[in-house]
Structure 1
Amino acid sequence: MPGYLKTVLSGRGVRVMLMILTVISITAALQLAQQILAPMSFALVLGVVVSPLADRLSRHGVPRLAIALSLLVASTLFVAVILLLIEPLIGVLIEELPRIKTVMARLIDQASSLLRGIETISQEIEESVGAESVEPQTAIPSVGDALWLAPSFVSQVFIFIGTLFFFTLTRNELYDLTGPLKPRLKHADKVVSRYFAAITLVNTGLGAVTAAAMMALGVEYALLWGLAAGLLNYILYLGPLLITAGLVLAGILQFHGAYAVLPPLAFLLINLTEANVVTPLVVGQRMSMNPLLIFLVIVFGLWLWGPVGAFVALPLLLWLSVLLEPQPGAMDQPGGDPLRKVI
């Protein structure tokens, strides 16, 4: 038998191949079950965020059912407000699409004049843009209409509400089933909750400063740019990149010459200050994870479940990192590290 076949058929080779097949199978299952697992994961993340508040209310004698109902209503209203705030952003983007297409066609035409052999492509783009600008604009449904017309939206809302309510109601009983892991689970919940509260405060300030800066520069829809900056900053790296790219396009659409680069440069300065000064002071060293790992996890979540996956990716990564971190002296105890018995 050839040497490479012995290596492939060895115990280690079989284990590696089984691990690869397992990862592929789990990834495929996660993507196929997106309509169930995405709202469920979103609800669990919100449940973890509000869990310390639920524990505090429970210690003050508030019934667990009342806590679960009140936190469910508050969390659902929070998500609904976010969706309502996002709708104007989508509407503005739809209204500005003709202008964006025209400017992009002009930029492509200017770039093609410096190259040879792509004049035909440039003319086709210009003709298509011109044809679209002449055609009457058809009515485009709002984001709210699209959500309610989607057949799976109601079922996903039901999954989200049910998961959040029953997790908040029975969280202590579920953690009791884990035995010695319960203190670690509760500690991980507190870390994620504090991180979310801190980053929400930071993102609120970032959105306010961005809106003020865009107003000072005379950028159109300055308040919406601030809102978008605050919301997208929950998605590290990718969110600020999207805002920067959007402000580059907005500067080209509205201004001329060197003044067109001021909006993205101003936001970059604000974002760099937030990322390197404000966030480390507010969040602390808890988020001292590998930036590449954070980036890859967010990209994977975005590919897997879209915006919901990108939002829940970082809290889940933080929760797992806290849960799996070694405790001082745990290995010196007679029973060893209880977490290693599970994994």
Structure 2
Amino acid sequence: MLKTTLSGRGVRVMLMILTVISITAALQHAQQVLAPMSFALVLGIVVSPLADKLARFGVPRLAVALSLLLACTLFVATAILLIEPVVNALIEELPRIKSVISSLVDQASSLLRGIETISEEIENTVGADSVEPQAAIPSVGNALWLAPSFLSQVFIFVGTLFFFTLTRDDLYRLTGAMYGRLKHADKAVARYFAAITVVNAGLGVMTAAVLMAAGVEYAVLWGLAASLLNYVLYLGPLLIMIGLAIAGALQFHGLYAVLPPILFLFINLTEANIVTPLMVGNRMAMNPLLVFLAIIFGLWLWGPIGAIVALPLLLWLGVMLDPRHSLPEKQVDDPLEKIL
């Protein structure tokens, strides 16, 4: 009897492991479809309270869906256009960055004895001719080949966002008893990201002002990048710190070169430990380990889009599974309730 029970449990555990592996493989294989679809659903959830308010004011559903689709599309396009100057500035500074990195590598290599001998032996063993040059800029043919894939993802994003906003209430009603919890989860996620957006805007302004006062080049662009990347917790601020460390090494000398990343670290720690808890509150707090693992998993699964949608999906699931959020909406204390 005991052996039968253990074997049954073992089978269930193995089936669960195989199910998780199969689902993960399916999600990664269907990235071209599921990534833009998930991004559209997340945006639809974030703007859902606004859609409900417009519907209560008597605005037709079709007009609500079209207006929110236009607003979200303009928001995404504006974010991409705002990132473009940062990318262009990075491209312009690539020669200087390569020079600084090369000098740092040379200094580190000089501390290791015999490094040149080892590298020569490896080169003689492998052969210099076996190393192929890396392709720099994609050709026109490659760009034309990738264009249909990009357009199809845009089409999936636009269609999913429009029809989800148009039929969200009807879809939720099909769940029966889950209708109220789904609506509350949408409101909780929307309120959270409304607060985070305000915090990130303040973080960007403060970062730009402090870096400008310190004499850092492209201070406004650094503030913009900090504001946008702060949506991706942990990884976003880490990328900004690495970038500012490189920028400090390019522009300054001595100990003053580490000033830009230290200034941003102080600003980010103040935002993460004081400002964000005051704006969001303990009710929406999440386990840092779960947040970090979710972002890493999303980044590995779907790239940048996966890292962006990981946090709202985790938050949405947390609200759905938390029994505290089964209270009626009027009993839930939220500082942003009057806004949304």
Band of TM-score, shorter chain:
0.7 to 0.9
Whether the 8 Å CA contact 1:8–1:14 is kept in 2: the answer is: no
1:40 counterpart residue number: 37
Q: Could you tell me how far 1:149 is from its partner in structure 2?
A: 5.4
Relative distance call for 1:204 and 1:164 in structure 2 (3 A) is: same
Look up the equivalent residue of 2:65 and give its one-letter code. A
Q: Where does 1:287-326 land on structure 2 (aligned, <5 Å)?
A: 287-326=284-323
Whether the 8 Å CA contact 1:207–1:226 is kept in 2: the answer is: yes
Whether 1:22 and 2:19 are equivalent positions in the alignment is yes
Unaligned 5+ segments in structure 2 are: 121-134, 328-340
Percent of aligned positions that are identical? 77
Look up the equivalent residue of 2:299 and give its one-letter code. L
Deviations 1:155-210 (A, max 9, x none): 00100000000000000100010000000000000000001110000000101111
Look up the equivalent residue of 2:40 and give its one-letter code. A
Whether 1:194 and 2:191 are equivalent positions in the alignment is yes
Q: Could you tell me how far 1:229 is from its partner in structure 2?
A: 0.3
Look up the equivalent residue of 1:321 and give its one-letter code. G
2:9 counterpart residue number: 12
Whether the 8 Å CA contact 2:181–2:320 is kept in 1: the answer is: yes
2:127 counterpart residue number: none
Q: Could you tell me how far 1:95 is from its partner in structure 2?
A: 1.8
Whether the 8 Å CA contact 2:55–2:61 is kept in 1: the answer is: yes
Whether 1:222 and 2:219 are equivalent positions in the alignment is yes
Look up the equivalent residue of 1:282 and give its one-letter code. M
CA distance in 2: counterparts of 1:150 and 1:25, whole angstroms: 30
Relative distance call for 1:218 and 1:329 in structure 2 (3 A) is: closer
Look up the equivalent residue of 2:161 and give its one-letter code. L
CA distance in 2: counterparts of 1:327 and 1:313, whole angstroms: 22
- Secondary structure of residue in 1 paired with 2:316: helix
- Secondary structure of residue in 2 paired with 1:150: helix
Relative distance call for 1:214 and 1:327 in structure 2 (3 A) is: closer
Q: Where does 1:240-255 land on structure 2 (aligned, <5 Å)?
A: 240-255=237-252
Residue of structure 2 aligned with 1:259, choices 248, 256, 261 = 256
Look up the equivalent residue of 2:209 and give its one-letter code. A
CA distance in 1: counterparts of 2:253 and 2:47, whole angstroms: 47
1:284 counterpart residue number: 281
CA distance in 1: counterparts of 2:61 and 2:157, whole angstroms: 19
Residue of structure 2 aligned with 1:51, choices 39, 48, 52 = 48
Relative distance call for 1:262 and 1:122 in structure 2 (3 A) is: farther
1:169 counterpart residue number: 166
Look up the equivalent residue of 1:283 and give its one-letter code. V
Relative distance call for 1:121 and 1:214 in structure 2 (3 A) is: farther
Relative distance call for 1:240 and 1:146 in structure 2 (3 A) is: farther
TM-score (normalizing by structure 1): 0.85
Whether the 8 Å CA contact 1:147–1:153 is kept in 2: the answer is: no
1:112 counterpart residue number: 109
Q: Could you tell me how far 1:286 is from its partner in structure 2?
A: 3.1
CA distance in 2: counterparts of 1:147 and 1:212, whole angstroms: 42
Q: Could you tell me how far 1:219 is from its partner in structure 2?
A: 1.0
- Secondary structure of residue in 1 paired with 2:286: coil
CA distance in 1: counterparts of 2:263 and 2:326, whole angstroms: 48
Look up the equivalent residue of 1:76 and give its one-letter code. T
CA distance in 2: counterparts of 1:314 and 1:293, whole angstroms: 9
Unaligned 5+ segments in structure 1 are: 124-137, 331-343
Relative distance call for 1:108 and 1:139 in structure 2 (3 A) is: closer
- Secondary structure of residue in 2 paired with 1:10: helix
Whether 1:208 and 2:196 are equivalent positions in the alignment is no
TM-score (normalizing by structure 2): 0.86
Residue of structure 2 aligned with 1:85, choices 74, 82, 85 = 82
Structure with greater contact order relative to length (CA < 8 Å, sep ≥ 6): 2
Residue of structure 2 aligned with 1:70, choices 61, 67, 75 = 67
Whether 1:152 and 2:149 are equivalent positions in the alignment is yes
Cα RMSD after superposing both structures: 2.4
CA distance in 1: counterparts of 2:23 and 2:168, whole angstroms: 26
Whether the 8 Å CA contact 1:248–1:260 is kept in 2: the answer is: yes
Whether the 8 Å CA contact 1:7–1:13 is kept in 2: the answer is: no
Look up the equivalent residue of 1:228 and give its one-letter code. A
